[in-house]
């Protein structure tokens, strides 16, 4: 158990006992908010945390950091708002960079948002964090203080010590899995990309593009049965596509009919290989892919950004000429 002497340490005027208590409460509230929002959006239950337990510690860190740093300025709503924007945005960026460096993967991506920086932070998110800061000071913190005061300190010390120990075990297991997630992502991408390349080389560009667009959808799915059903539906649509282009290209009809069976066999092989890769993953990895739709290899994200930048430049040059 954390000793009384340690919990009596003071940081920016507050003892460590209260700081740690706030941290765990806000981490739990953050998990409820994120998991509920994503679950409603995706119409299925999603555990949005990095660890398996019901906490999202980036919210705990953000809330405590904002409160400690901005408390001296709580008399000014404008200073609170803009200070909250700065503190939380910096924290979000640092977290994104560290997770990319440590795990070689991007866990979220704001690249499609306007005024984003490296896909890790964006203006709309920062504006939201500013409003969150005001709600934190005027609504949440009074409630959290009341909550911590409901039980005697000796019980609180036992509680936060127990939660901290459980979290450390959970964090260790989750980190071990996350360290190897790049290999799992690389394997899935290799299977997917090889089949897409095969379609492109076979002059089936429309089918290849359609399949590429659905890659992120299947990464989130954890049920082998649903993945198989989905891919079988794509196979059926693929067969219809082959019949259609065979009818449109009368000069190549015989060639397409002859190769249709080969194409469908390749599709079957792709389905089995993809399923084998996906279902061999441990449940924590599958949960990560379900919880973080933008989870991808950092190298792949950088390549995509370079490609988009190149397209934008070429588009501007074309408009200029």
* pLDDT confidence of residue 228: 76
Boundaries of every domain in the chain: 10-179, 182-281
Can you give the chain as a three-state secondary structure string? Answer: CCCHHHHCCEECCEEHHHHHHHHHHHHHHHHHHHHHHHHHHHCCCCCCCCCCCCCCHHHHHHHHHHHHHHHHHCCCHHHHHHHHHHHHHHHHHHHHHHHHHHHCEECCCCCCCCCEECCCEEHHHHHHHHHHHHHHHHHHHHHHHHHHCCCCHHHHHHHHHHHHHHHHHHHHHHHHHHHCHHHHHHHHHHHHHHHHHHHHHCCCHHHHHHHHHCHHHHHHCCCHHHHHHHHHHHHHHHHHHHHHHHHHCHHHHHHHHHHHHHHHHHHHHHHHHHHHHHHCCCHHHHHHHHHCCCCEEHHHHHHHHHHHHHHHHHHHHHHHC
Per-residue pLDDT of the chain (321 residues; tens, 9 = 90+): 566 678 888 898 899 999 999 999 999 999 999 999 888 987 888 898 899 999 999 899 999 999 999 999 999 999 999 999 999 999 999 998 998 888 888 888 888 888 999 889 999 999 999 999 999 999 999 999 999 999 999 999 999 999 999 999 999 999 999 888 888 888 888 887 888 887 777 767 666 677 666 666 666 666 667 777 777 777 787 777 777 766 666 655 566 666 777 777 888 888 888 888 877 888 888 888 888 877 787 766 666 655 555 455 445 444 434
């Amino acid at each position: 158990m954390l000793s009384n002497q340690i919990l009596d340490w003071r940081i920016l005027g507050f003892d460590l006992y209260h700081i740690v208590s706030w941290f765990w409460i806000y981490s739990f509230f953050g998990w409820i908010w994120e998991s509920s929002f994503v679950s409603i959006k995706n119409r299925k239950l999603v555990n949005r945390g990095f660890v398996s337990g019901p906490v999202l510690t980036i919210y705990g860190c953000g809330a405590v950091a904002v409160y400690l740093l901005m408390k001296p300025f709580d008399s000014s709503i404008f200073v609170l708002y803009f200070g909250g924007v700065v503190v939380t945005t910096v924290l979000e960026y640092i977290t994104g960079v560290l997770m990319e460096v440590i795990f070689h993967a991007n866990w979220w991506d704001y690249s499609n948002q306007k005024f984003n920086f490296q896909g890790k932070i964006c203006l709309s998110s920062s504006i939201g964090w500013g409003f969150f800061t005001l709600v934190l000071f005027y609504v949440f913190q009074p409630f959290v203080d009341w909550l911590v005061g409901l039980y005697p300190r000796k019980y609180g010390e036992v509680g936060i010590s127990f939660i901290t120990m459980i979290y450390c075990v959970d964090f260790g297991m989750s980190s071990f899995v996350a360290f190897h997630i790049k290999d799992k992502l690389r394997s899935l991408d290799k299977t997917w990309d090889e089949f897409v390349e095969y379609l492109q080389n076979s002059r089936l560009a429309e089918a290849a593009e359609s399949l590429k667009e659905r890659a992120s959808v299947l990464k989130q799915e954890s049920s082998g049965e649903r993945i198989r059903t989905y891919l079988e539906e794509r196979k059926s649509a693929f067969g219809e596509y082959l019949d259609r282009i065979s009818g449109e290209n009368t000069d190549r009809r015989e060639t397409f009919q002859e190769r249709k069976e080969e194409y469908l066999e390749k599709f079957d092989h792709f389905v089995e290989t993809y399923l084998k890769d996906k279902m061999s993953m441990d449940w924590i990895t599958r949960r990560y892919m379900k919880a973080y739709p933008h989870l991808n290899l950092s190298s792949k994200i950088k390549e995509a950004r370079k490609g988009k930048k190149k397209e934008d430049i070429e588009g501007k040059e074309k408009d200029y000429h």
